[in-house]
Structure 1
Amino acid sequence: MDVTVKFLGAAGSVTGSKYLVDLGDFEFLVDCGLFQGKRELRRRNWDKFPMPPTDMEAIILTHAHMDHIGSLPKLVKDGFSGPIYCTAATAELAKILLLDSGKLQEEEAEYARKKGYSRHENPEPLYTVEDAEAVFPLFAPQNFKKPFEIHPSVKVTYYHAGHILGAATVKIQIQGDSQSKNLVFSGDLGRYHDPILFPPTLIPEADAVWIESTYGDRISKPVKAEEELANAINEIFEKDGVAIIPAFAVGRTQLVMYYLYQLLRKGKIPSVPIYLDSPMAINVSKLYKDFHQDHQLIAVLDEKDQHPFQHAQLHYYRKQEQSRTLNELKGKAIIISASGMATGGRVLHHLFHHLPHEKNGVIFVGYQAEGTRGRRLVDGEPEVRIFGLEVPVKAKIYSIEGLSAHADQDELMEWAEGFSEKPKLAFIVHGEPDSAELLANKLSNELGWNTIIPNYLESVLLFKNI
Structure 2
Amino acid sequence: MTTTKGSAASLTFLGAADTVTGSRYLVSAPSSRILVDCGLFQGFKVLRERNRALFPVPPDSVDAVVLTHAHLDHSGYLPALVRDGFGGRIYASAGTASLCRIMLMDSAYLLEEEARHAAKHKWSRHEHPRPLYTTQDAERAVERFVIVPEGEETSVSGAIGIVLHPAGHILGAMSAYVDVDGRRLCFTGDLGRTDDPLMRPPHPFEGADVLVTESTYGDRAHSTVDPETSLGDIVRRTVRRNGVVLIPAFAVGRTETVLLHLSRLRDRGEIPDVPIYVNSPMAISVAEVYRRHPEEHRLSREEVDRLYGLATPIHSVDDSKLLNLRGGPMIIISASGMLAGGRILHHLQAYAPDERNAIVLTGYQAGGTRGARLLSGARTLRVFGREIAVEAEVVAIDSMSAHADADGVLRWMRGASHAPGAVYVTHGEPAAADALRLRIEHELGWPARVPAHGEEVPISPEPRPRARFAP
Indicate the TM-score class for this superposition, using the shorter chain for normalisation.
over 0.9
| 2:327 counterpart residue number | 330
| 1:22 counterpart residue number | 28
Once the 2 structures are TM-superposed, how far is the Cα of residue 172 of structure 1 from its aligned partner? 1.4
Answer whether contact 2:33 2:157 (CA < 8 A) is retained. Answer: no
Answer whether contact 2:32 2:159 (CA < 8 A) is retained. Answer: no
Partners of 1:342 and 1:302 in 2: how far apart? 31
Runs of 4+ deviating beyond 4 Å: none
**In structure 1, the residue corresponding to 2:117 is in which secondary structure?**
helix
Partners of 2:250 and 2:456 in 1: how far apart? 32
Partners of 1:45 and 1:337 in 2: how far apart? 25
Partners of 2:188 and 2:392 in 1: how far apart? 37
Return the match for 1:100 from 99, 106, 114: 106
| 1:302 counterpart residue number | 302
Partners of 1:291 and 1:416 in 2: how far apart? 27
| 2:126 counterpart residue number | 120
Q: Deviations over 1:387-426 (max 9, x none)?
A: 1111111000010011111111110111111122221110
| 1:418 counterpart residue number | 415
Partners of 2:255 and 2:335 in 1: how far apart? 9
**In structure 2, the residue corresponding to 1:198 is in which secondary structure?**
coil
Identity of aligned residues (%): 44
Partners of 1:415 and 1:3 in 2: how far apart? 27
Q: Deviations over 1:285-313 (max 9, x none)?
A: 22110111211212xx3369x721224xx
Change (3 A) 1:440 1:125: same
| 2:391 counterpart residue number | 394
The letter for the 2-side match of 1:52 is P
Once the 2 structures are TM-superposed, how far is the Cα of residue 31 of structure 1 from its aligned partner? 0.1
Partners of 2:403 and 2:122 in 1: how far apart? 38
Partners of 2:206 and 2:145 in 1: how far apart? 29
| 1:350 counterpart residue number | 347
Answer whether contact 2:183 2:461 (CA < 8 A) is retained. Answer: no
The letter for the 2-side match of 1:77 is R
**In structure 1, the residue corresponding to 2:74 is in which secondary structure?**
helix
Partners of 1:125 and 1:330 in 2: how far apart? 33
**In structure 1, the residue corresponding to 2:34 is in which secondary structure?**
strand
Answer whether contact 2:34 2:157 (CA < 8 A) is retained. Answer: no
Partners of 2:27 and 2:454 in 1: how far apart? 13
Answer whether contact 1:258 1:309 (CA < 8 A) is retained. Answer: no
Answer whether contact 1:159 1:169 (CA < 8 A) is retained. Answer: yes
Partners of 2:146 and 2:418 in 1: how far apart? 32
| 2:468 counterpart residue number | none
Partners of 1:154 and 1:133 in 2: how far apart? 27
Mapping of residues 152-231 of structure 1, within 5 Å? 152-174=158-180, 176=181, 180-231=182-233
The letter for the 2-side match of 1:226 is E
**In structure 1, the residue corresponding to 2:309 is in which secondary structure?**
coil
Once the 2 structures are TM-superposed, how far is the Cα of residue 7 of structure 1 from its aligned partner? 0.8
Q: Does 1:61 align with 2:67?
A: yes
Answer whether contact 2:191 2:404 (CA < 8 A) is retained. Answer: yes
The letter for the 1-side match of 2:457 is V
Q: TM-score, normalised by structure 1?
A: 0.96
| 2:469 counterpart residue number | none
Answer whether contact 1:355 1:392 (CA < 8 A) is retained. Answer: yes
TM-align CA RMSD: 1.3
Q: Does 1:151 align with 2:153?
A: no
Q: Which runs of 5+ in 1 are unaligned?
A: none
Partners of 2:83 and 2:114 in 1: how far apart? 19
Mapping of residues 245-394 of structure 1, within 5 Å? 245-298=247-300, 301-302=301-302, 307-311=306-310, 314-394=311-391
Q: Deviations over 1:259-281 (max 9, x none)?
A: 11111111111111100001000
Answer whether contact 2:63 2:88 (CA < 8 A) is retained. Answer: yes
The letter for the 2-side match of 1:288 is Y
Partners of 2:156 and 2:217 in 1: how far apart? 32
Partners of 2:163 and 2:87 in 1: how far apart? 22
Return the match for 1:432 from 429, 433, 436: 429
Q: Which runs of 5+ in 2 are unaligned?
A: 1-6, 464-471
Q: Does 1:458 align with 2:460?
A: no
Partners of 2:269 and 2:147 in 1: how far apart? 42
Partners of 1:38 and 1:241 in 2: how far apart? 31
Answer whether contact 1:217 1:409 (CA < 8 A) is retained. Answer: yes
Count residues in correspondence.
457
Pick which of 272-281 and 221-230 moved more: 221-230
